[in-house]
């Protein structure tokens, strides 16, 4: 288990859905702020933000299902989209006796917040999404309206993941000898903008390596497809759960009541959640990195940022509010790369939304 920062307490907590490790900061009677981490990470990624919360706030960060010290027997049913993770978050609030909380999600955790907003809007004081996946899902769509590239959503799901990376993760490999597959190199190349190196680099690497791997875990199973690139979503694990095949219709966001305010923060140089993501097969095909690409008419790079903005603009038109903040010279984790700048905007937002 990773050592925690001073001011952070790690505690096993059982809800009606899952047993997991939860990191806690602040006074138990303070306003709760629930943090949901991204893929290939754990609650550890939030510690610096948690200890920097304003006075009167408490931080709560679970290892989500499929990650860290969460119960390994509890699988993600991808056919529910991210419903399992959203339900886990609500059940954790129940276990802690919390009626409402500010919620913060990074990457996959941001995608979980799209689902939380749809299913539990009355429990959310505010929502902060940091470099989230598109509300339409990750991979396999085109256009600002999230049109599927293929009827079977080929190009998304567990079969799109680099298997060498998964094997090294499963082995706990901390080396830096393979630019394509070494988790350490992937982390330092894509989680933050090179040449940034975080102070707690080794703890964050341990957090990355703690993801649960396997055909029913990460990256999940896959379904053969006649469509390029030959793989469509399976039914288990977080990457299949992020496929647009199983995403809840974004129109659900426009009708929720109440409509919590949303803060969308992204890094200016993010290579993961972007309009030309290097983790999107449409981008890699266009670059020639994957042979047989059918062309931009069929599978262009997914416009993840454009889709997110279009959805949030519709949310605002339906009576909600949002703010988009771009933190310059940062990658996929601006809250780690430039915490002071991030916290300035984040603290002001939750302070005005309580």
**Domain ranges in the chain?**
9-147+249-351
Q: At a CB cut-off of 8 Å and minimum separation 6, what does 116 contact? A: 86, 89, 90, 103, 123, 124, 127
341 burial type by CB count under 10 A (0-12 exposed, 13-18 middle, 19+ buried): middle
pLDDT at 354 over 90: no
What is the fold, at CATH topology level, of the domain defined by 9-147+249-351? Rossmann fold (3.40.50)
The pLDDT-based confidence of 2 (bands split at 50, 70, 90) is confident
The chain-wide mean pLDDT, for the chain, equals 97
pLDDT at 265 over 90: yes
Residue carrying structure tokens 């925690």: 4
Kindly state the tokens that stand for 236. Answer: 């288990």
- Classify strands 222-224 and 31-36 as parallel, antiparallel or unpaired: unpaired
* DSSP conformation class of 302: P
pLDDT in tens, 199-239: 999 999 999 999 999 999 999 999 999 999 999 999 999 99
Give the whole-angstrom CA distance, residue 239 versus residue 234. Answer: 9
Q: At a CB cut-off of 8 Å and minimum separation 6, what does 172 contact? A: 209
The pLDDT-based confidence of 1 (bands split at 50, 70, 90) is low
Could you tell me the CA-to-CA distances from 351 to 319, 323, 337 in Å, in that order?
21, 15, 22
pLDDT at 64 over 70: yes
Percentage of residues in the chain having pLDDT higher than 70 = 100
The pLDDT-based confidence of 81 (bands split at 50, 70, 90) is very high
Give the whole-angstrom CA distance, residue 172 versus residue 34. Answer: 28
pTM for the model: 0.98
Average of per-residue pLDDT across 56-67: 98
């Amino acid at each position: 288990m990773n050592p925690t920062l001073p001011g952070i307490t790690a505690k096993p907590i059982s809800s009606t859905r899952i047993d997991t490790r939860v990191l806690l900061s602040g006074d138990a009677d303070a306003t709760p702020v629930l943090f949901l981490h991204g893929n290939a990470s754990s609650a550890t990624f939030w510690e610096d933000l948690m200890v920097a919360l304003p006075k009167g706030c408490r931080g709560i960060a679970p290892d989500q299902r499929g990650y860290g010290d969460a119960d390994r027997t509890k699988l993600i049913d991808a056919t529910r989209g991210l419903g399992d993770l959203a339900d886990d978050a609500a059940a954790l609030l129940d276990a802690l006796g919390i009626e409402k909380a500010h919620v913060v999600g990074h990457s996959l955790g941001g995608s979980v917040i799209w689902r939380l907003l749809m299913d539990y809007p009355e429990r959310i004081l505010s929502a902060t999404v940091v470099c989230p996946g598109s509300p339409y899902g990750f991979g396999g769509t085109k256009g600002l309206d999230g049109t599927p590239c293929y009827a079977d959503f080929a190009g998304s799901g567990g079969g799109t993941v680099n298997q060498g990376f998964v094997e090294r993760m499963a082995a706990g490999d901390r080396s830096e000898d393979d630019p394509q597959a070494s988790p350490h190199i992937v982390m330092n190349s894509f989680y933050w903008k090179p040449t940034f190196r975080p102070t707690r680099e080794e703890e964050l690497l341990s957090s990355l390596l703690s993801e649960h791997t396997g055909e029913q875990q990460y990256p999940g199973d896959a379904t053969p497809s006649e469509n390029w690139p030959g793989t469509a979503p399976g039914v288990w694990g977080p990457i299949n759960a992020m496929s647009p095949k199983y995403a809840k219709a974004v129109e659900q966001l426009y009708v929720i009541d109440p409509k919590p305010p949303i803060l969308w923060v992204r890094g200016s140089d993010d290579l993961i959640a972007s309009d030309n993501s290097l983790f999107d097969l449409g981008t890699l095909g266009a670059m020639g990195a994957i042979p047989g690409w059918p062309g931009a008419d069929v599978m262009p790079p997914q416009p993840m940022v454009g889709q997110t903005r279009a959805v949030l603009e519709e949310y605002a038109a339906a009576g909600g509010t949002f703010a988009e903040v771009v933190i310059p010279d940062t990658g996929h984790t601006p809250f780690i790369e430039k915490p002071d700048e991030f916290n300035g905007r984040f603290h002001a937002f939750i302070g005005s939304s309580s």
